[in-house]
Each structure stands twice: as C-alpha cells, then as structure tokens.
Chain A
Amino acid sequence: MIRPPQNRAGARRMLQQVAAIAGTTLIEAIQQPVAFLILLSAVLTTLLVPVFQFHRFSEDGRLARDSGLSCMLVFGLVLAAGTAGRSVADEIARGTAAAAIGKPVSRVTFVVAKWLGVCGVVAIFWCGVLAATLLAERCSSHFLTLKEFVGSATDPWTLALSFLGVLSALIVAASRHFFWRRRFGVAAFAGVALSQVAVAAVSGFYNRFGELYPLHGEAACECGAEHAHAATELLLYHPELNLRVLPVALLVLFALAIFAALATALATRLQTGAALAVCAGVLILGLAGDALTAGAPLFSLRGLLSGVLPDIQNFWLCDAVAREGRVAWVYVAEAGAYAATCCAICLVAGCLSFRERDLG
C-alpha cells in the first residue's frame, strides 16, 4: 500500500530521497558513452541537413526543421527507453537497487525518482536538439530580398559556430578530465547541449551575412519577416529563429516523457533490449493509431488497442507549423495533461510490478 508521508519531516525526507536517486540516475546515465553518442548523432545529423539540402519541401528551412524534430523523437526515444531500461533493470541486476531499497526508501519513491532522473537526461537532450533544429532551419537556404541582395542565401557563420560549439564542448570536457580529473561524459553531454543553446542565443546579434545588427529598428528590419519594428525602437537582439517550432518540440518532449515512464515500468521486469523493443512498437502503433483503430468496435482487439495505446499522433504536429502555421498553446496544455495521465498510468503499473519483485 502506498502511504503518504506522516508529517513535514517525512515529506522532506521523501523529497531528499527523490532528488538523490534522480540526480544519481541523471549523472550515471549521461556518464555512459552511448548517451553522449546519441546526443552527438542527433545534433550532428540535424546540423548537417542544411549542408546536404537538395529539396525545399516547398518551404525554406522545412527539411531542416522536420529532420530536426524527427531526430528529436527517434533518437530521444532510444535515449529515454535505453536510459530507463539501463538505470532500472541493470541496477536491479547489479544490486544497487537493493542497496537503495535496503535504506528507508519505499519502492514507489524509487520508481518515481528513476523516472524523474531519466526525464532529466531527456530534457538536456531535448534542449540541445531543439537549439540545433532552430539553428539548422536558420542556416538553410532562404530566399531573401535585402537592400543590395535578392536571392537565396545560407548562413555559413551560424553553421560554423554550431559545429565549433560542438568541438569546443568536447575540448572543454577533455581538458577538465585531463587537468582536473572531472567526468568526461557528464561535461561532454551537457556541454554539447549547452553549446547549441549558446549559439542559438548568440545568433540573434548578427544577420546571415555575418554583419552585426544595428541597434535601431528601421535598419534592423532587415532581419526578416517577423520583425516589423518601429523606426525608433531600440533593438539589441534579433531572434532570427523560427520560434513557432517551440510548442511542437514541447509536444515531442511530452511523448518522450511517456516513453520514459513506459520504459521505467517495463524495466522493473524486463531487460533493456525488451523494454526498448516494446517502446518502439508503441511508437509505431501509436503513430498509426488513427489508421488502425478508426471505426473499430469498442469490444474488439482494435478497440482495445485504441483504448490502451497512447495516441502518439497527438504529439507529432510537425506539419502544423508549415507555411507560417502555429500550434495553439491551449492545445499544448491539453496534450500536456494527456501526457501526464499516460505517465501516471505507466508509473502506477511500474510501482505495482516492482512492489512484488524480489531483489536478490
């Protein structure tokens, strides 16, 4: 039975336990070379799209945006399910789970803290890939009409800065490891993600020809379609990034949180590979949900599937931002509530499964 903490001290202790287990899970997960390789692959794949872009999909930057979001979902799924599987199933096998449960830690606290730790890993990954996606879209060839220029232009400066950011993160991580014996994996993982966020922030100070923006509005209006400023307005920063991607990316993050919860629950009984396979199956069936279950009677296999499987299509709205489209924040909030419900169901199932598990 799940008992709520009796008093404030009990609640404080539970929060401390959750923070300790989640923090250790986060550090252990990003310490693994495979987690770093997944992030690096996702970021580099996204950043390379503008370099090898042969199709526009009838919109400047769309290929880069769609590819970035796809990388976020697919690589994110592998990272979330793999990390959850490893941090729960492997800890049970290795005995560190038993060592924690041997302390005054309830099994429910353990499972929830593990999920939060995995979500932390996924959140860092998401920040890095989101920034890389925004940068890749900016770096893609765009048709421009400026004072003395009419035609398509890429943004080699930002692209170079993005790759330089990745390289700098690796050099910093290696230096910290060499000189101060700090963990390479942690610094490299966080560094690559941070470097992309930093480049995205810096890119707001110059245009795609590498010229710094003037401070006042009229001249600053060169920055593009969405910046119609008053002539006298002081403008220090020009976010020449497609921020309409943000709600779409947030929906992908919700989907990844569901996969992390599902994998955490499965890993209380299954090995990492099996948990990953089930998550991949749920992704495919969840994306094909409408086609599979449309018009299915309630008491049938297809009806059962539509009731049990999370509808991943709710979280994949890549096309909604095409051609200046937007996703309403109300929809994001509703999808967030749906994701929270799915996560809660998965975690309850995981806690029930783990409660009866012998920890040898």
Chain B
Amino acid sequence: MEVEKVIETRGLRKTFRDFWRRPTVEAVKGLDFSVRQGEVFGMLGPNGSGKSTTLKMLLGLLHPTKGEIRVLGAAPSDTRVKARIGYLPEVSHLHPFLTPRETLMYYASLFGMAHGEAVRRTAELLSMVDLTQAADRAVGRFSKGMARRVGLAQALVNAPELLILDEPTSGLDPIGCREVKDLVCLLAKSGVTVLMTSHLLSDVEDVCDRVAILDRGALRAEGKIADLLRKPEAVRFLIEGLSSEAVAALRSEIEERAGCRVQLDYPAMSLESFFLQVVAQDGRLRTFEMAPFLRATQGTREGEGGACSKL
C-alpha cells in the first residue's frame, strides 16, 4: 500500500539576495525529498548546508526561489495546514518578558484554542517538560536549556500531526537530550510524523527511521539508517563471557577456515548511557511521561519500532 507523503519537495531552490536583488548565497540547490506519514525523518549536514533554510521554506517563512513544496497536501503558506504543524526553531524565539505559562497561553491563542482547553494543555505541557516550578518566572531569565524546554512545549500545544524540530537537543543537558529523544519516540509511536535536523549524529541515529544528508544545499544521500550504514562484506559476532584462550582459539579457527583477517574489539557502554546510569543513582532521572492530551489526540502506530527501538 502506498504510504501517504506528508512532505514532498521537487526541485526546491533558495537563493538569498542583497538589497539590490543581486544573488548572494544559493542555500538550497534543487532539493527533492519526501517524508512519509508516521516516520521520524532526520536531516543531517554541516553548518550552512541548507537544513534550516529548507525547514523554513516548509513552514512558509522563506519563499522558495524555484521548485514546489507540498506539506500535508497543501502549500506551506496555507494557515489550515499550519494549524496541524508543530515547529521548534533552532533558537527558541520567545518573548523574554512572558512567563512559560503566558507563553504557552499565547501560542494556544494563536491556534484559536478555547481558554479552558488552553489552560489544561498549558498545565500538562509544563509538567511534561518539568517547568511547573518555574512556570511564573520570566523566560528572559531562563538558561538556554530551560528556554529550549519552553520552545518544545510550544511546539506541541496544538497536538500536531507533523512536528518539525530544528536542532531539538541544542542547549540541553544529557538528561534533557534523553527526554527529547524519548518524547520523539513516544510521539512517533502515537502516529505523529517528525522531521528533525541535528548536528549530533547520535541523536539522529537513535530516533530516526530515515535520514537525508545535505551538503552545500544539495542532497548527498537519503534512505533508511540501517541501509545506509550496513557493511554487507563485514559480519560481527557479539559473545559474552569468553576467556582469552577461547577468543584466541576462535580467532585462529575463523582466520584459517575463512582465509581472512579477524578484527577484535570489546564493546563499551556509551558515555551517554554511563552518565544517565550515574545520575539515576541519585534519583535525578525522572520517568518521562507524555502530556495526557497528546496521548488522547493521537492514534497509535502498531508494530513499528523503527530506530526508536534502540532506546
């Protein structure tokens, strides 16, 4: 069965111009890609590769120089489409004098939400991002990580069908990063389509089903992570509890029979896992729970784990 494409771009180009309309930078050069319903799609690339520019064009914030964009079946400038999208910008653009509670109420008003519903969702989101205690302090005095949490909460206030996250873990501590990744996985499991960019390759690897790699505005690679990273000519055995004699014997046996060189390594825990294990001992690691209204408004994606099954 053909899976519905939530985002589709064809021949997308963006050239920035100066005051006299002279071209200065060609940020995106003929980009073709699509994001399917219910998947977590990662966009990777070095600085200046055109990731954020592409996201802004998908949201109608930047006008493409050429090419076609369809988001949820319509043009990105259509406000009915925007009502179904959640967007977290690279820098959480927040009004510094508003408190997190006022910020979320403000964004809820932009979606035309009834006051009672907005109050309920605001409380649930503040609890989800662990900002209930700081709900009535001005955002302008927040650390980057706390502002990021407010930014994440505002992106979810409308229970979006499509969530666009630009560097979602930027500025967060390892606990915050882990919670964002947990959230992305929970949302993906409940049927939300997620498009995210990140410089942190491990973040993308942990949560994304498919990735696109951009460089200098052009698409260099696209596909499922497992397919892109697979080395068909190599095989890895993972065996626990072997003595050094048994390892040596096994190695020489395989080298003799297969006639090829065997490389040995001892898998270690990632630093992130070790850190989380340490802080969990102090009881600082809370169980991350999605806001109840998000659980209630989304469906469930049965039988799919995707990259999230690694977490």
Contacts and interface: CB of A to CB of B under 8 A. Distances in A.
Nearest to A25: B95
B95 A28 contact: yes
Contacts of B216: none
Interface in B74-106: 79-80, 82-83, 85, 87, 89, 91, 93-95, 97-98, 106
Contact of A12 (B59, B85, B98, B112): B112
Contacts of A360: 56, 61-62
Interface string A335-360: 00000000000000000000010111
B95 A20 contact: no
B110 A17 contact: yes
A292 interface: no
Contact of A359 (B56, B83, B94, B95): B56
Interface stretch (A43-51, A96-104, A165-173, A323-331): A96-104
B252 interface: no
B225 to A, nearest CB: 28
Contacts of B277: none
Interface in A11-46: 12-14, 16-17, 19-21, 24, 27-28, 31
Contacts of B106: 20, 24
Contacts of A13: 111-112
Contacts of B98: 24, 27
B224 interface: no
B297 interface: no
B199 interface: no
B1 to A, nearest CB: 31
Contacts of A14: 112
Contacts of B154: 99
Contacts of B109: 16-17, 19-20
Contact of B56 (A9, A98, A105): A98
B212 to A, nearest CB: 21
B63 interface: yes
Contacts of A100: 110
A99 B97 contact: no
Interface string B134-162: 00000000000000000000100010000
A31 B97 contact: yes
B61 A104 contact: no
Given A17-B110, A20-B109, A102 B97 contact: no
B107 interface: yes
A283 to B, nearest CB: 27
Contacts, number: 81
Contacts of A20: 106, 109-110
B60 interface: yes
Interface string B43-65: 00000000000001001111100
A24 B94 CA distance: 12
A103 B107 contact: yes
B267 to A, nearest CB: 42
B112 to A, nearest CB: 3
Task: Count chain A CB atoms within 10 A of each CB in B79, B83, B85, B91 and give the residue with the most.
Answer: B79
Nearest to A9: B112
Contacts of A94: 93
A16 B61 contact: no
Nearest to A32: B97
Interface in A100-148: 100-106
Contacts of B87: 99, 102-103
A183 interface: yes
A101 B83 CA distance: 11
A104 B111 contact: yes
B239 to A, nearest CB: 51
Contact of B111 (A99, A103, A359): A103
A95 interface: yes
Contacts of B61: 98, 101-102, 358-360
A99 B154 CA distance: 10
A27 B105 CA distance: 15
A105 B62 contact: no
Task: Count chain A CB atoms within 10 A of each CB in B59, B95, B110 and give the residue with the most.
Answer: B110
A106 B79 contact: yes
Contacts of A12: 112
Given A27-B97, A95-B93, A102 B82 contact: yes
B168 to A, nearest CB: 15
B59 to A, nearest CB: 5
A134 B85 CA distance: 52
Contacts of A106: 79
A17 B111 CA distance: 8
Nearest to A105: B110
Nearest to B94: A96
Contacts of B85: 102
Given A13-B112, A104-B82, A24 B95 contact: yes
A104 B80 contact: yes
Contacts of B112: 9, 12-14, 16-17, 104
Contacts of B97: 27-28, 31, 183
B151 to A, nearest CB: 9
Contacts of A101: 59-61
Contacts of B89: 95, 98-99, 102
Return the 9 tightest CB-CB contacts between A and B, nearest first.
A13-B112, A95-B93, A20-B109, A104-B79, A104-B83, A104-B82, A103-B110, A99-B93, A359-B61
12 contacts: A9-B112, A19-B109, A20-B106, A21-B110, A24-B106, A94-B93, A95-B93, A102-B60, A105-B110, A356-B63, A358-B63, A359-B61
Given A101-B59, A104-B79, A104-B82, 7 more contacts: A24-B106, A95-B89, A96-B94, A99-B94, A102-B87, A103-B158, A105-B79
Interface of B: 16, 56, 59-63, 79-80, 82-83, 85, 87, 89, 91, 93-95, 97-98, 106-107, 109-112, 154, 158
